[in-house]
Amino acid sequence: MMRAMQSSRHWPRRQVLGTLAAGAGLGLVAPLGAQAAPPLTKPIPKTGEALPVVGLGSWITFNVGSDRAGREASYQVMRAFFEEGGRLVDSSPMYGSSQPVIGEALARLGHPRTLFSAEKVWTSDAARGPAQMEASRAFWGVPRFDLMQVHNLLAWEQHLPRLLEMKAAGRLRHVGISTSEGRRHAEFERILREQPIDFIQLSYNPADREAEARLLPLAAERGVAVLANRPFREGALLRALARHPLPGWAAEIGCRHWAQVSLKFIVSHPAVTCAIPATSRVEHLRQNMAAARAPMPDAALRRRIAADVAALL
pLDDT of residue 299: 97
pLDDT tens digits, one per residue of 179-235: 999 899 999 999 999 999 999 999 999 999 999 999 999 999 999 999 999 999 999
pLDDT tens digits, one per residue of 110-143: 999 999 999 999 999 999 999 999 999 999 999 9
Q: For residue 36, name the pLDDT band (cuts at 50, 70, 90).
A: low
E strand or H helix that includes residue 44: none
User: In terms of DSSP H, where are the helices of the chain?
Assistant: 68-83, 98-108, 129-140, 156-168, 185-194, 215-222, 236-241, 249-252, 258-267, 282-290, 299-312
The CATH class of 2-312 is alpha beta
For residues 149-155, average pLDDT:
97
Full-model pTM: 0.90
Out of 1-10, 26-35, 284-293, pick the least confident: 1-10
pLDDT of residue 29: 72
Q: For residue 27, name the pLDDT band (cuts at 50, 70, 90).
A: confident
User: Where exactly are the structural domains of the chain?
Assistant: 2-312
